[in-house]
């Protein structure tokens, strides 16, 4: 049965243009397509997407991998191709206008498309806010000219857009819908073949080569400091792929003192679920650790020049998502010169040994989980349906 919001346009075939540039956007796009299809069973979904979206009946005009580029140098090396893809996509959209165009994340690519479409009279939506609330806040004026609707995953993002009179809907975070409210620590340890009776520290120095290069040795020296104090603690490092695994093993070999550590390829969420405490870099992993109700210690280092520049640009008091969501320092953030093996190790042991603090964090993290658990696919589809209904009248 069609969703009520679709009634006004159910007598004609809808076309949704969606542009996703990376794997996380592909997953969001697939969930959005499923929810939109319940409202518009005969709709067409076209644009740029990956395997997850294609499995839902999406037609990708260009392989999504052509947009999945990391790093400034790599982007510059492919800039002509990226401009060509954008030009061809816009020509297609102008020749066969969709009912709405939806850009998912990848703002450097998608916002320009959304703006051109909006100028041509095609309603535009952006799904996943850039970190405009944290730094380079003047980007909000470009965003305001590019979108008819911003869909945010986090509530404080929505407040920022409301303050700047940009139409916005907070839809919640899909991870909060997928991760259970009560973590299954024992099950995760069994599936990973880890000892269920001894404390476990999960170590996540990042998924990219540069992050592992900057933080890997620091985190390993922290682990060695902890193991000297608490030999019973098992250390587990998940590595996103074979390359990161080799990089981590090389860093371990380079240590002066042998370190007993288990390396797992992939399965970072399972490793965090199995842990008692997580030592990690700032990023989306902090959100996953929070949703898994795990005490954590955040450590991060940049080059001195980068840190100086970013410190002047950043407008928020915290860097980790749990602290940003709670508007208070729930988890320690040890950055730059404050990130030493002794300071990180001491913070880890404090969270490992203080049961009262652990209980307090579980309660706080559960409240934040419930805030983000909004059925994001459905809320995003509802907001887009309302936009279409308004434009149809």
Q: What is the pLDDT of residue 92?
A: 97
Sheet of 277-280: strands edge to edge?
262-265, 234-239, 200-204, 277-280, 296-300, 333-335
Q: DSSP for 2-27, please give it.
A: --GGGGGGTTS--EEEEEE-SHHHHH
Lowest mean pLDDT across 125-134, 149-158, 231-240: 125-134
Query: pLDDT-based confidence at 76, cuts 50/70/90?
Result: low
Give the pLDDT band of residue 321 (cuts 50, 70, 90). very high
pLDDT (tens digit, 9 = 90+) per residue, 265-284?
999 999 999 999 999 998 88
Q: What percent of the chain has pLDDT over 70?
A: 89
Q: How many C-beta atoms surround the C-beta of residue 105 within 10 A?
A: 21
Return the ∠ at Cα 175 (arms to 173 and 176), rounded to 5°: 70
Question: Topology of 4-172+374-392 in CATH?
Answer: Rossmann fold (3.40.50)
Domain boundaries, the chain: 4-172+374-392, 185-372
**Helical (H) or strand (E) element with 101:** strand 100-104
User: Position of tokens 């953030």?
Assistant: 333
- CATH C-level class of 185-372: alpha beta
Average pLDDT for 135-147: 88
Distance between CA atoms of 188 and 269, rounded to whole angstroms? 9
Q: How far apart are CA 152 and CA 28, in angstroms?
A: 12
Confidence of residue 7 (pLDDT cuts 50, 70, 90): very low
Buried b (16+ CB within 10 A) or exposed e, 108-124: ebbbbbbbbbbeeebbb
What residues contact 84, with CB distance under 8 A and at least 6 apart? none
> Does residue 72 have a pLDDT over 80?
no
Opening angle at CA 27, ends 16 and 314, nearest 5: 100
How far is the CA of 354 from the CAs of 169, 276, 288, 347, 357, in angstroms?
Answer: 39, 11, 22, 11, 5
Tokens of 141: 């004026």
Task: Provide CB contacts within 8 A for 285, sequence distance 6+.
Answer: 204, 268, 272, 278
* pLDDT for the residue numbered 13: 83
pLDDT band for 73, please (50, 70, 90 cuts). very low
User: Which token pair is 280?
Assistant: 């990690």
Position 8 scores a pLDDT of 40
Answer whether 276's CB lies under 8 Å from 295's CB.
Answer: yes
Residue 40, CB-side half-sphere exposure with 13 Å CA sphere: 25
* DSSP-assigned states of every residue in 198-218: S-EEEEE--SSHHHHHHHHHH
To 5 degrees, how large is the angle CA 153–CA 159–CA 163? 140
Of 120, 111, 71, give the one whose Cα is nearest residue 93. 120
Beta carbons of 349 and 357 less than 8 angstroms apart = no
Q: What is the rounded CA–CA span in Å between residue 324 and residue 333?
A: 12
Residue carrying the six token digits 């990848």: 106
Alpha-carbon gap, residue 275 to 261, rounded angstroms = 14
Provide the pLDDT for residue 135.
63
**4-172+374-392 against 185-372: fold identical:** yes
Structure confidence at residue 312 (pLDDT):
62
Check pLDDT > 60 for residue 102. Answer: yes
């Amino acid at each position: 049965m069609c969703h009520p919001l679709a009634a006004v346009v159910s007598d004609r075939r809808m076309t949704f243009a969606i542009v996703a540039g990376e794997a996380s956007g592909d997953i969001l796009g697939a969930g959005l397509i499923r929810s939109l299809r319940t409202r518009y069973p005969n709709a067409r979904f076209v644009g740029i997407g990956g395997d997850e979206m294609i499995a839902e009946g999406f037609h990708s005009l260009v392989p999504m991998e052509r947009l999945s580029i990391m790093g400034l140098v790599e982007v510059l090396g492919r800039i002509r191709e990226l401009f060509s893809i954008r030009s061809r996509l816009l020509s297609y959209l102008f020749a066969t206008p969709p009912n709405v165009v939806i850009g998912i994340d990848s703002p450097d690519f998608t916002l320009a498309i959304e703006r051109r479409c909006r100028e041509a009279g095609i309603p535009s939506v952006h799904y996943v806010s850039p970190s405009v609330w944290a730094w380079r806040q003047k980007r909000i004026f470009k965003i305001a000219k590019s979108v008819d609707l911003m869909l945010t995953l986090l509530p404080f993002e929505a407040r920022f857009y409301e303050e700047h009179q940009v139409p916005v809907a907070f839809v919640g975070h899909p991870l909060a819908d997928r991760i259970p409210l009560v973590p299954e620590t024992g099950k995760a340890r069994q599936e990973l073949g880890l000892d269920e009776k001894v404390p476990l520290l999960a170590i996540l120095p990042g998924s990219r080569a540069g992050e592992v290069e900057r933080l890997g040795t620091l985190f390993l020296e922290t682990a060695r400091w902890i193991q000297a104090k608490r030999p019973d603690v098992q250390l587990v490092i998940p590595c996103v792929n074979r390359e990161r695994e080799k990089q981590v093993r090389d860093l371990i070999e380079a240590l002066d003192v042998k370190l007993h550590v288990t390396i797992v390829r992939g399965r970072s969420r399972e490793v965090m679920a199995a842990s008692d405490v997580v030592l990690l870099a700032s990023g989306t992993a902090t959100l996953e650790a929070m949703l898994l109700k795990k005490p954590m210690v955040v450590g991060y280092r940049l080059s001195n020049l980068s840190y100086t520049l970013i410190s002047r640009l950043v407008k928020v008091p915290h860097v980790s998502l749990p602290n940003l969501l709670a508007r208070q320092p729930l988890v320690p953030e040890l950055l730059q010169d404050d990130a030493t093996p002794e300071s990180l190790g001491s913070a880890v042991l404090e969270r490992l040994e203080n049961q009262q603090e652990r209980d307090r964090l579980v309660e706080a993290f559960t409240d934040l989980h419930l805030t983000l658990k909004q059925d994001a696919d459905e809320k995003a589809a509802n907001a887009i349906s309302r936009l279409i209904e308004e434009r149809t009248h």
